[in-house]
A and B are shown apart, each in its own frame.
Chain A
Amino acid sequence: MAAGTELTPTSYINHHLTHLPATIGDGGFMTLHVDTVVTSLLLGIIGFGLLRWIVAGATSGVPNKRQAFVEMMFDFIDEQVKGVFHGDRHKFVAPLALCVFVWVFLMNSMDFLPVDIMAKLYELMGLHNWRSVPTADVNTTFALALSVWGLMIYFNFAVKGFGGFMHEIFCTPFGSNPLLWIFNLLFNLVELISKPLSHALRLYGNIYAGEIIFLLLGMWAATGLAGTVFGAILGAGWAIFHILIVALQAFIFMMLTAVYMAMAHEGH
């Protein structure tokens, strides 16, 4: 809330949905969303630092509660990955899934922080536009989805070989008749393009929409006593429901990552 400007619904929403930009060079592409980058990096460093600290003191004897918690998460993710991926999952895929789950969960969790109180706090630090939730920035979700996509392409080549991958693209799912090659290719291209799109936009859409609803409820709360009461009640309800969304979206993103990795390792 920049001082001096009149507070209208439009300016309120705009204020909350504007990133803090840092211009690196010419053109729209050469900007950096400082809030997204700093928040996600901080969360990553704290989250993985914490994990590393607990794991470094891990014992194979009786675990303490910290370690038991981490082992529960480990076991949960390991079970999920074991369900879809049938190879040496400990080499890469399971750690990848753990990394994705932890990071996305932490970034989603920033949605729990009340938007307006956080905005005031950031303003006290001199940050006028600061969005707390990195996964409500399409750049983050596409960065993750495209990285996973790149890994998928890499493993397709590495595991099946160039010939194997090309065979899969041209000869599945309809058949290896040369007349069908073009249809196979088109089908597979659609699949290849839709994978990162759906992967990234599902997470982005869910978290972004959650943020918008908090903002709308916040606006309602500013319209008078009844609005404040109902805005507060609905806000609490939405926040409770959001606990599910945050965990569920992190889980879905992790599962899709594991599934894509499995598909890259195994033929159709």
Chain B
Amino acid sequence: MNINLTLLSQAVAFGIFIWFTKAFVWPPLLKAIEDRQKTIADGLAAAEKGKAAEADAKQRIEAELAASRTQNQGRLADAEKQAHALIEQAKKDAETEKARIVAQARAEAAQEVQRAKEQLRNAVADLAVKGAEQILKREVNAGAHADLLTQLKAQL
């Protein structure tokens, strides 16, 4: 155990190593670790925020869904009502159209009957004249007997 100059030289070396550690080893390591801690803390905070935003969005979507559902129901009801109204309208239109067509057909039929009667009348008049001709064996003068024929036709 002899104390000598070694002690001083070791003390100087110690001092240099302390300075080196304090200046070049500790601060960069501390900075790296603290930066990482901050990054992790930020990441956790961001995740928390994201979670909150997700919950918020979910709620909003839920509300929007509910709103659109009621809106849809309203629209469906409206459409049904409209369809009913349209059908009613169409029925009514068809009813009137039918009435109109039937009336027209009746009128046409009546006209037809009128025309057929007219023809029949003419034909009967001709037939009567021919019959009379046959019976009298001579020509009836249509011009001379026009008045008679018209009288006859009117009686048919």
User: Are A96 and B5 closer than 8 Å at their CB atoms?
Assistant: no
Chain A residues with CB below 8 A from B39, complex form: 60-61
Within 8 A of A (CB), among B1-20: 1-11, 13-15, 17-18, 20
Q: Is the CB of B17 within 8 A of A143?
A: no
Query: Does the CB pair B25–A55 fall under 8 Å?
Result: yes
Q: Give residues of chain B (33-57) contacting chain A, Cβ–Cβ below 8 Å.
A: 33, 35-36, 39
Whether a CB of chain B sits under 8 angstroms from the CB of A90 is yes
Q: Are A44 and B29 interface neighbours, CB within 8 A?
A: no
Q: Is the CB of B17 within 8 A of A37?
A: no
- In the assembled complex, the CB of B49 is this many whole angstroms from the nearest CB of chain A, namely 22
Instruction: State in angstroms the CA–CA spacing of A60 and B30 once bound together.
Output: 10
Chain A residues with CB under 8 A of B25: 48, 51-52, 55, 95, 98-99
Cβ distance A51 to chain B, nearest Cβ, rounded Å:
5
- Residues of B close to A75: CB separation below 8 A: 33
Choose from A33, A48, A74 the contact partner of B29 (Cβ within 8 Å): A74
Q: How far is the CA of A111 from the CA of B84 in the complex (A)?
A: 104
> What residues of A have a CB within 8 angstroms of the CB of B24 in the complex?
52, 55
Contact indicator B6/A28 (Cβ below 8 Å): no
A52, B20: Cβ atoms closer than 8 Å = yes
**B28 on the interface (CB 8 Å rule)?**
yes
Question: Could you say which residues of chain B place their CB within 8 Å of the CB of A103?
Answer: 14, 17
Check B22 against A61 for contact (C-beta < 8 Å).
Answer: no
A48–B15 CB distance below 8 A: no
A33 to B5, CA, bound (A): 8
A49 to B34, CA, bound (A): 23
Measured between beta carbons, the chain A residues less than 8 angstroms from B8 are 143
Q: Does B142 contact A (CB under 8 A)?
A: no
Q: Please, which residues of chain B bring their CB within 8 A of the CB of A143? A: 6-11, 13-14
Sample of 9 further A-B pairs with CB below 8 A, known A31-B6, A95-B26, A140-B10: A29-B4, A52-B20, A55-B28, A55-B29, A75-B33, A95-B18, A96-B21, A143-B9, A143-B13
